[in-house]
Amino acid sequence: MWWVQIPKNDKKKNQLLSLLKNTTACYLRDFDAVEEIKPYVKKCEFFMDTSYFAYDWDEVFVSEEKKIEKPYVVVNLNKNAEKFFDEFVQDIKSYSQKGYRIYYVPVAKGNNVYYQDLQYSQRLEKELWENVDFALLDWESDFDNFTKVLKWAEKVFSSRLHLYLIASFLGCDTKVYPYQRKILKMQKVIDKLL
């Protein structure tokens, strides 16, 4: 239950096909993967990414009315999407120059360079002018508060798949920087289902 793509490398393809011979069912989170795997697994169906079922989204919508003192955007960038950094900065500058607050969400906080999203908050802060209203928005300490802030964002800019998904589930206007095929595939799913 995830996403799968048939590798181009013959050795890896043979390994996957060997694994699929013993697979009784696949529940995949994107339509392309379902079509790719159907010839190899009799029961292969679409199943929405499990993050959709992890939270009561309806509860967020009825929990509070819109109360915003100052308009804001919510942003995130990661190591895999570094090639989009200049575009990302330009997107954010257009809002910071209008006086918007910029909330940066450090989705990943590990020790590995690929899981240190905070480094991009620091780089972004340096790129924006001195008096920008910049703050961190933590999702781990109080997820309910995080969703309440996220749902009223003017726009969400993200390269992390699950921030993009959560924002989409909340109906936020979202721009995703597609550093991997899985993000493009999930955009299709979101466009079709939500």
Q: Domain range holding 41?
A: 10-50
Instruction: Look at residue 69 in the predicted model and tell me its pLDDT.
Output: 78
Distance between CA atoms of 148 and 165, rounded to whole angstroms?
15
Based on the fold, state whether residues 151 and 70 are members of the same structural domain: yes
Based on the fold, state whether residues 28 and 106 are members of the same structural domain: no
pLDDT tens for the chain, residues 1 to 194: 677 888 889 999 999 999 999 899 999 988 988 998 999 998 999 998 888 887 887 777 655 566 667 899 999 988 888 888 899 989 998 898 898 999 999 988 877 766 788 888 888 888 877 678 888 999 999 988 899 899 999 999 998 888 999 999 888 999 988 877 788 888 888 888 77
In a domain, 57, yes or no: no
What letter represents residue 184's amino acid? L
Q: What is the pTM assigned to this prediction? A: 0.81
Instruction: Look at residue 105 in the predicted model and tell me its pLDDT.
Output: 94
Pairing between β-strand 25-28 and β-strand 101-104 as defined by DSSP bridges = unpaired
Based on the fold, state whether residues 34 and 113 are members of the same structural domain: no
Instruction: Look at residue 155 in the predicted model and tell me its pLDDT.
Output: 96
Instruction: Look at residue 182 in the predicted model and tell me its pLDDT.
Output: 80
Instruction: Look at residue 1 in the predicted model and tell me its pLDDT.
Output: 67
Distance between CA atoms of 146 and 143, rounded to whole angstroms?
5
Based on the fold, state whether residues 26 and 109 are members of the same structural domain: no
Tell the residue number behind the tokens 């804001």, with chain if given. 72
Based on the fold, state whether residues 92 and 175 are members of the same structural domain: yes
